[in-house]
Amino acid sequence: MLINPVEKDQKRISELELATGESISDCYQCGKCTAGCPASMDPAPSVLIQFLKLGQFELAKNAESIWSCMACLTCSERCPKNVSPAAIIEGLKNLHLRDMDPRVNLETMSRDFLAHSPQMAIISGFRKFI
Amino acid sequence: MSEKTVRVPYYPGCTMKTKALGFERSAMDCAEVIGFEMDELKDWNCCGASYPLTKDNLMGLTAPTNILVEAERRCQKEEVDPNLLTLCVFCYNTLKRTEFAFGQDEKKLETINAFLDRKYEGSIRVIHYLEYLRDVIGFDNLAKMVKTDMSKYKVAPYYGCLLLKPQKEIGLDDPEDPVILHNFLDALGCKVIDFPAQVDCCGSYLVMREPEKVSKLSYDILADANEYGAETLVTACPLCQSNLDQSQGDKVQFADLDGMPVLYFTQLLAIAFGLDTKTHLLEEHHIDPRPLFEASGSSDGESK
């Protein structure tokens, strides 16, 4: 595959860096984030960041795996370059959510979940998926 | 109880009043034995549960700031140390990180203050109940208050994520190799089961969207604890407790594993103190912990 950085994408990547407070170019692809990720994300955190480094914004933004991040912060804690993949992933999710593109359907949500889950799970879920 | 009871301002959070009522009740009963009172803030709101990870999300800081203002006013009025005690790990993480953010960035604080139309001066120090036991009471003093022989219980300390991470902001313990729960269990006299999965994530709020993944992650943690010989697991987080405990209802995933009770550390502390645990809602856990403690609590339960 031939990868050409898209100029429009570069602008959006800069905006993502500004919003998240992260410096994507600092990543040197060591893969510690991916090695420690308990969410079995595919594309993995380091791959998502590589998409961004290559100027492929849409590939990162539309990756289904971003919705499996549980913000355990293992990646951020282990990054030797002080990048927070979890923050970048949340930045990508926020773009969907702010466009009114939720990832949980309230109407079909399991009543069982609402009845039995601790409030913190419901509130966090609302923040991360809706 | 000691001669003078210290009152510590306390923020419960939503889960503590509903699904984790047994956590709060056991913590309060134990505090009374230790000699302090958890003095609940009069007017509190939800902290928002998860701290916003992106810098642009200032809105997520308004709820925790409102709580810090309330605590600051209380402490100033009553002239007590500006500590705010928490039990729920999500609340602890959110409030602690908010406290840290304002220490780093005064402009942020000014913006939030202007939005809330309240003035938070930045004096509150958010602490966790475990931290209070370690740093103020001292685990060695705690050990002297233990009434029950706990040496027969093989207990695995489970930390999860948000009690420890990010270390730079929380600073409670080492996130990769923590000891605070180990030392707590040591003080109680339990047989502490050190196991590799003690800091692995249980799946957290993913339970809303991918419960099967949470089942799998919970299984991995419990199977690991089981392999190392644990009979029960303790945690400080209501969501870890819920995920690890409720997931065991997934009979397919858990086919080869016997039920393992998952307790709040304060529920175990109450047992160690020999307190009446009737109100601590042990019976509401999916895997009932009572048989383990009742069986070995009596003299004929020494078999294993």
Residue recorded with tokens 């079909």: A108
For residues B188 and B291, state if they share a domain. Answer: yes
For residues B183 and B98, state if they share a domain. Answer: no
Residue A118 has its nearest CB partner, among B166, B175, B239, at B239
Q: Identify the band that residue B298 occupies on the pLDDT scale cut at 50, 70 and 90.
A: very low
Asked if residue B259 belongs to a domain, the reply is yes
Min distance A6 CA to chain B CA atoms (Å)? 24
For residues B39 and B161, state if they share a domain. Answer: no
Residue recorded with tokens 């402009």: B107
Q: Identify the band that residue B132 occupies on the pLDDT scale cut at 50, 70 and 90.
A: very high
Class of domain A7-99: mainly alpha
Asked if residue B138 belongs to a domain, the reply is no
- Hey, which bits of A1-130 come out as E strands? none
Asked if residue B213 belongs to a domain, the reply is yes
Name the residue ranges covered by the structural domains of chain A.
7-99, 104-130
- At B111, which CATH number? 1.20.1050.140
From B130, B157, B191, give the residue that closes a domain. B130
pLDDT tens by residue, B248-268: 999 999 999 999 999 999 999
From B130, B162, B192, give the residue that closes a domain. B130
Contact B54 A91 (CB under 8 A): yes
Q: Identify the band that residue A111 occupies on the pLDDT scale cut at 50, 70 and 90.
A: confident
Mean pLDDT along residues B170-187: 98
For residues B117 and B227, state if they share a domain. Answer: no
Mean pLDDT along residues A15-32: 97
Asked if residue B301 has pLDDT above 50, the reply is no
For residues B100 and B164, state if they share a domain. Answer: no
Angle between helices B265-272 and B21-34 (to 10 degrees): 40
Asked if residue B297 has pLDDT above 50, the reply is no
Contact B15 A118 (CB under 8 A): yes
Asked if residue B140 belongs to a domain, the reply is no
- Is any Cβ of chain A less than 8 angstroms from the Cβ of B265? no
Q: Identify the band that residue A1 occupies on the pLDDT scale cut at 50, 70 and 90.
A: low
Asked if residue B76 belongs to a domain, the reply is yes
Write down how long chain B is. Answer: 304
Asked if residue B175 has pLDDT above 90, the reply is yes
Asked if residue B25 belongs to a domain, the reply is yes
Query: Between residues 50 and 69 of chain A, which touch chain B (CB distance below 8 Å)?
Result: 67-68
Per the CB < 8 A criterion, the answer to whether B207 and B243 are in contact is yes
Strand order in the sheet with B83-86: B36-40, B6-11, B83-86, B125-128
Asked if residue B1 belongs to a domain, the reply is no
Query: Between residues 48 and 77 of chain B, which touch chain A (CB distance below 8 Å)?
Result: 48-50, 52-57, 60
Per the CB < 8 A criterion, the answer to whether B19 and B238 are in contact is yes
Strand-pair partners of B264: B235
- How high is the pLDDT of residue B299? 40
For residues B126 and B251, state if they share a domain. Answer: no
From B67, B95, B130, give the residue that closes a domain. B130
Q: Identify the band that residue A2 occupies on the pLDDT scale cut at 50, 70 and 90.
A: low
- Cβ contacts below 8 Å, chain A against chain B, sum to 131
**In which domain, by residue range, is B53 found?**
6-130
Asked if residue B280 belongs to a domain, the reply is yes
